[in-house]
A and B are shown apart, each in its own frame.
Chain A
Amino acid sequence: MARRTSLPVTFVVPTIAILLVLSMVPTLYAIVIALQNRELSTPDYSWVWLSNFVDLFLDRRFLNAVWVSVKWEIVTVVATMVVAIGLGVLMFEVASPRLRNVYCLLFIIPVLLPRVSAAFVWKFAYHPLYGIATYPYRLLTGGLIFDPLSKPGTALFAVASVDVWQWGLFFAVIVLKLLETLPPQPIEAARLDHARRWQIHAYVTLPMLKAPLISLMFVKMIESLRSFDLIYVMTRGGPGVATETLDMYAFSQGFIESGKVSYASAMAVLMMIATVITFTMLWKRVQA
C-alpha cells in the first residue's frame, strides 16, 4: 500500500510528539530533582549532585526496600505463572466448552477490580477476629487468632496472595485461550503414543507455547512493580519494614515522613534506570 499520502505524518507525528513531551519532561526533571536537595517544607534548594545517591547506598532501610522488592517480584511472578498454567491446563482438560466460558468470565472479575478495592476486600477477609478468610482457622482451633497481615513472616505473602488472586486467575484465562489456539495434531500424536495427560502438557503443549508464556511473564514482571496501592492499603509497608517495597519507601520518604522530595526522586531515578535496562534487555531477548 505504498501510496503517496500525508496520512502517516499527520497521524503519527503529533501523537508521538505529545508522548515524548509528556514522558521526557518528568523523566528529565526527576533526574534534575534527584541532584538537588529539595524538600516540600521549604522552597530553597541547592545542587548536591550525587550525594543523595551516596546516602541511599548507606541507608539500610533502602537496602531492605530493594530486597523486599526483589522478593515481591519473585514471589508474585512465580506464583502467578504457576496458578495461571495450572488452572489453564485444568480448564483445558476437564471443563466443557460451556463451563470454560463461565470460568473465563469469573476469572476475569478480580483483575478488573481497582487494586484499592481488592486490597480492602482482602484486608477485611484477613481480619484476625472478624475476617472470612481467617474464619476456618478460628473454627478449627477453637478461636485462636491468626493475623497474617501483622506478622513480619507472613505479611508479604498475604499481600502477594491478593496480587496472585487478581493476576493468576486472569492469566489462566489467557493460558486456556493459548492452548485452544494450538493445532490438535501434535496432541493427538502424543496421545497415540500413550502419553499421560500431564506428560502431553509438560512435553508438548507448554513447550509449543514457550514464546507467548514468556511474554506473559514479562507483562507480569512489569505489572508487579506497580503494587504500591495494594501495599499502601493493606500494610503501609509494615509490620516494621517487612513489606516496604521501593515505591512505598520512596513515597514515605517524599511525602509522609520527611518530605525529602529529592531523596525520594533519587530512589525513583534508580528504579527507572534499573527497570529500563532490565526490561529493554529482556524485551530484545523475547523478540529475538
Chain B
Amino acid sequence: MRPGRLIGRIVLAFAGFMAVFPLLWTALNALKNNVDIITRVPRLVFTPTWANIGYILGRDSVLTGLYNSVVACGSAVVIGIVLGLPAAYAVARYPNRWAGDIQFFVLSLRFLPPVAVAIPLMVIWLQVGLYDTLPALIITYSLLTISVIMWLAIPAFQSVPKEIEEAAFVDGYGAYSVFWRIALPVAARSLAGAVAFSFVLVWNEFLIALMLSSSNAKTLPIVASELSQQGMNVPWGILNASVVLLSLPPLLFLGVLSGFLNSVFRQKKT
C-alpha cells in the first residue's frame, strides 16, 4: 500500500500544480518585456516591467469594455436577484402542480444553444434599434441570470428549516415578512453563492456579447480577444496582461463559491 500512497500523493500534487501553474505563468508573462517572453527556454529570472499593465489600463477600449462588462453583468445580476429569488422562494415553499414543470422549464433554458438565441436576437435588436447597446445586452443576460439564480436558489430555500418559518407565522408575521425577515437571512449564505455563480457565468460569457455588439457595447472578453488580432507583431506581454485583468473579477468570488459548495454538500448529509 505504501508505494501506492506515495504515487497517489505525487499525482495529486502534480494535478494541483497543473491547476494554477498556467495561470501563474501568464501573470508572470504580463510582467515581462517581449524579449523575455519570446525565448526558446522559458525564463524565470527577468527584469519586471509595468509597461504591459499600464498599457492595458490606459487603453480606452479596455476601459470601455470593463465599464460595459461591469454595467451589463451587474444590472443583469440585480434583475436576476429581484425576479429570481422571490420566484425561487415561492416554488420552494408553496409547491403546486406546476412546481415541477417550472423547475424543468428553468433548467431547459440552459439547453438552448447560445447561437440559437443570439442569431434571432441580433435580428430583433437590429429591427428595434437597440443593437449594440447595453440595454439589449442586459435584457439578454437577464434570461441567463434569472434562470441560474432560480435554479440554485430553490434548493437553498428548501433547506431552510420549515419550523423557523412556522414559528414566525405563529408570531403573527405575514407571508411576505416571513420571506423578508426569515427565509432570506437564513438562506443568505447559499443565496450569495448562487448570485456569485450567476455573475461569474455572465462575466465569462462570450458568444452572445460577440454577436450583439459591434463597437459601443463590447464587453471585456470581446476586447481581450480582439487584442490578439493586432497585426503580425503579437504583443504577447499586453495580451497576457489583458488575460489577467479579465480573470481577476471571477477569482474574487473563489471564497464565496467554495463556501457555497461546502454548504450545498453539507445539507445533503442530513
Contacts and interface: CB of A to CB of B under 8 A. Distances in A.
Interface string A250-275: 11001100000100110111011001
Given A109-B19, A250-B115, A3 B169 contact: yes
B225 A232 contact: yes
Nearest to B139: A22
B90 A264 contact: no
Contacts of B59: none
State the majority secondary structure of interface residues on B.
helix
Interface residues of B, number: 97
A214 interface: no
Given A94-B8, A268-B113, A8 B96 contact: yes
A112 B225 contact: no
Contact of A90 (B8, B200, B207, B240): B8
Contacts of A108: 254, 257-258, 261
A19 B146 contact: yes
B207 A247 contact: yes
Contacts of A15: 83-84, 86-87, 146, 150
Given A8-B94, A108-B257, A265-B120, A27 B112 contact: yes
A61 to B, nearest CB: 16
Interface string A111-132: 0111111001110110001101
Interface string A10-24: 111011101100110
A276 interface: yes
B73 to A, nearest CB: 11
Interface residues of A, number: 94
A1 B160 CA distance: 14
Contacts of A103: 12, 15-16
A265 B123 CA distance: 11
5 contacts: A90-B12, A124-B29, A130-B40, A169-B18, A174-B261
Interface of A: 1, 3, 5-8, 10-12, 14-16, 18-19, 22-23, 25-27, 29-30, 32-33, 38, 87, 90-91, 93-95, 102-110, 112-117, 120-122, 124-125, 129-130, 132-133, 135, 138-139, 143, 165, 169, 172-174, 177-178, 180-181, 197, 222, 225-226, 228-229, 232-233, 246-247, 250-251, 254-255, 261, 264-265, 267-269, 271-272, 275-276, 279-280, 283
Interface of B: 1, 4-5, 8-9, 11-12, 15-16, 18-20, 22-23, 25-26, 29, 37-42, 83-84, 86-87, 89-91, 93-94, 96, 102, 104-117, 119-124, 139-140, 142-143, 146-147, 150, 162, 165-166, 169, 174-176, 179, 200, 203-204, 206-207, 210-211, 221, 224-225, 228, 236, 239-240, 243, 246-247, 250-251, 253-254, 257-258, 261-262, 265, 268-269
